[in-house]
Homo-oligomer: A and B are copies of this chain.
Amino acid sequence: MSASISPLAPKKYPKMPAVEGVRIATAEAGIKYKGRTDLLAMVFDEGTTVAGVFTRSKCPSAPVDYCRENLGGGKARMLVVNSGNANAFTGKKGRETTRITGEAAAKAANCKPGDVFLASTGVIGEPLDASKFGPLLAGMVKEAKPDLWVEAARAIMTTDTYPKVVTATVRLGDVDVTLNGIAKGAGMIAPDMATMLSFVATDAPIAAPVLQELLSKGTAKTFNAVTVDSDTSTSDTLLLFATGAAARRGAAPVVDARDARLGRFRRALGKMLKTLALQVVRDGEGARKQIEVTVTGAKSARSAKRIALSIANSPLVKTAVAGEDANWGRVVMAVGKAGEPADRDRLSVWFGDNRLAHEGERDPAYSEEATSAYMKRDEIRIRADIGIGRGKATVWTCDLTKEYVAINGDYRS
């Protein structure tokens, strides 16, 4: 863990309410870290539905495989997360660990192993010893309490410098429902300290297929639009649980994604996922500045997103922002290398509201002074207008600092 907290950490934390139907426990299992919690159990009431999205890596971790398999059932009773070891690239031993943990959790929560979800984050390639935490689960289920969300966020941290939480309460028809979420980064991915994990729970009564559609659509412009270093972890996991407890307060079950009552819920979920994703970016390893990259005027939205990611992933753009240098030439380079349709002579580039380049040339009206002042901010907006269509996309990243190299260039041992 890093000694100092990111300068981009939230100035204040929301008070996290309980989510009906969710109970939480954390423990010090001593998997790798000493003197801190590294184990999280979330226990869900019967009837809880679940949705998930996972890393696109072709070499996913054992827990990702386990979750994918159980997601088909659409039901969840327990989530177990450990930090300190990712149980990734651990072969048959890794699968055996998820099997043993799943069974221990099922026994503790009095459910089927198919209703258990697992996530692990930490070192890759080291066998994860299930005996360190399996025996703790029964006690954790007994002691689990509704109001431990910040503790939950702390237990899953690795190189994160602060816990990431978010909450929202919205109307679902005539009934208030609550959404709580937690996440951990901290590289968008540092796979030996893997990885991006996020868990959201609500008391809304939503059928699993609807929940899955909400989550899949919600990630496109949030978690799938952030990047720290273009590296994709073996373990990225985002799970959304709906306990349905609000049904007891009169909320009728949502069984259709076109249900008109979902409007506010969908927006709140989207906002929440974006907040969590940005918190991950803002705690990117060594991050000192948040960068928002917007591409407009591309041939299509898909093309715009590819160009935006090309800019956001460019080490030269990211180091320029770290150096507070409005180096629009590097933005042009990144547009050019994206391989998407572009016309140099129609390209314009802005840093904030300062247009630096216009129609293939340096903007003669551009003010070096105003731009330099702008580059000193914590949050930098870069916009590139391709000038050939109506495709638009926004992605977020952080700057690339010497600190990133220091954090990732240190010896494991």
Contact = CB atoms under 8 A, between A and B. Distances in A.
A73 B28 CA distance: 74
A397 to B, nearest CB: 12
A408 interface: yes
A128 B319 CA distance: 25
A125 B187 CA distance: 33
B405 A58 contact: no
A328 B125 contact: yes
Query: How would you classify the secondary structure of chain A's contact residues: helix, strand, loop or mixed?
Result: loop
Interface in A173-214: 187, 189-192, 194
A362 interface: yes
B320 A409 contact: yes
A60 B347 CA distance: 13
Interface in A343-377: 344-345, 347, 357, 359-362, 368
Nearest to A195: B333
Interface stretch (A76-84, A88-96, A255-263): A88-96
Interface stretch (A38-46, A224-232, A238-246): A224-232
A336 B91 contact: no
A406 interface: yes
A379 interface: no
Nearest to A233: B333
A218 to B, nearest CB: 22
A284 to B, nearest CB: 11
A315 B316 contact: no
A334 B328 CA distance: 29
A333 B124 contact: yes
Interface residues of A, number: 75
A158 to B, nearest CB: 13
A357 B232 contact: no
A323 B408 contact: yes
B125 A344 contact: no
B315 A231 contact: yes
A34 interface: no
A337 interface: yes
Interface string A87-121: 01111110000000000000000000000000000
The 3 A-B pairs of least Cβ separation, nearest first, read A124-B329, A323-B409, A59-B336
Interface of A: 55-60, 88-93, 123-127, 187, 189-192, 194, 229-234, 313-316, 319-320, 322-325, 327-330, 332-342, 344-345, 347, 357, 359-362, 368, 400-402, 404-406, 408-413
